[in-house]
Amino acid sequence: MTQPPQQPTGPVGGPYSGPPPGYPAYGYPPPPALSPGGAPLADFASRLLAFLIDSAILGGVALVVALPVFFIVLFNRMSDVIESTDPYTGEPDPSTFFTGLFVPILLLELGLVLFMLVVYYFYTVEMLLRSGQTVGKKALKIRVVPIDPAATLTRGMASKRYLIEFVVGAIVPFFRYLDGLWQLWDKPYQQALHDKVARTVVIKVFP
């Protein structure tokens, strides 16, 4: 007669005691990264959307200011170029074309860049000093704060953010991309390069 198989007399493994200390429970997302002050850090998507909103606002300002001036300068300078056109060849005088049209447009573009840097300064620095938020940041419920929880956001901090993000970004090719993407791999506070220089972090705020 065949004997039934023997059943194990003791547990194969011990009872499950949960994940090791410092690890999230299985099946649950990891806890959000926190600032030194204990507030949740703003995620990349929120910061990107806030940046796009602010860029749309400032881009609208640039169009409102630049387009009328551009067309006025172009109309006035084109009339000078047309008057210098050789009636036999139908071509404008090269020196008149260069000094009468190319140089003014180049200077106009340079002036627009300088004008926008001034606008960006007042938009970012002054608004950050009031509440730590621009329009875009307020819409996405995020705020710039000092990395030191006991400190207050100063004009120097806001100005450093502006200089790195906008002035250096306008001069150095591709720097703005590197600056913005830096937060994706920065640990532990997910700072962009302008945050590191200014010693700030961006946190989530709740109503």
On the question of a cis peptide bond just before residue 92, with omega within 30 degrees of 0, the verdict is: no
Q: Mean of the pLDDT values across residues 116-138?
A: 92
**Residue whose token pair is 């910061």:** 47
pLDDT at 69: 73
CA–CA gap between residue 166 and residue 54 (Å, rounded): 13
pLDDT per residue over 144-187, tens digit each? 999 999 999 999 999 999 999 999 988 898 999 999 999 999 99
8 Å CB contact between 148 and 90: no
Question: What band does 93 get if pLDDT is binned at 50, 70 and 90?
Answer: low
Rg (alpha carbons) of the chain, rounded to whole number = 29
Q: Mean of the pLDDT values across residues 64-92?
A: 65
87 vs 62: which has the higher pLDDT: 62
The pLDDT > 90 percentage for the chain reads 48
| Predicted model pTM | 0.71
Nearest to 147 by CA among 206, 190, 177, 207: 190
Confidence check: pLDDT of 30 > 70: no
CA–CA gap between residue 24 and residue 135 (Å, rounded): 35
Q: Mean of the pLDDT values across residues 45-73?
A: 87
pLDDT at 34: 87
pLDDT at 77: 63
CA–CA gap between residue 175 and residue 59 (Å, rounded): 19
pLDDT at 109: 78
Exposed/middle/buried for 49, CB within 10 Å: 0-12, 13-18, 19+? Answer: middle
Cα-to-chain-centroid distance, residue 168 = 13
pLDDT at 115: 86
8 Å CB contact between 201 and 189: yes
The pLDDT > 70 percentage for the chain reads 70
DSSP of 12-35: SSPPP--SPTTSPPTTSPPPPPB-
Confidence check: pLDDT of 2 > 80: no
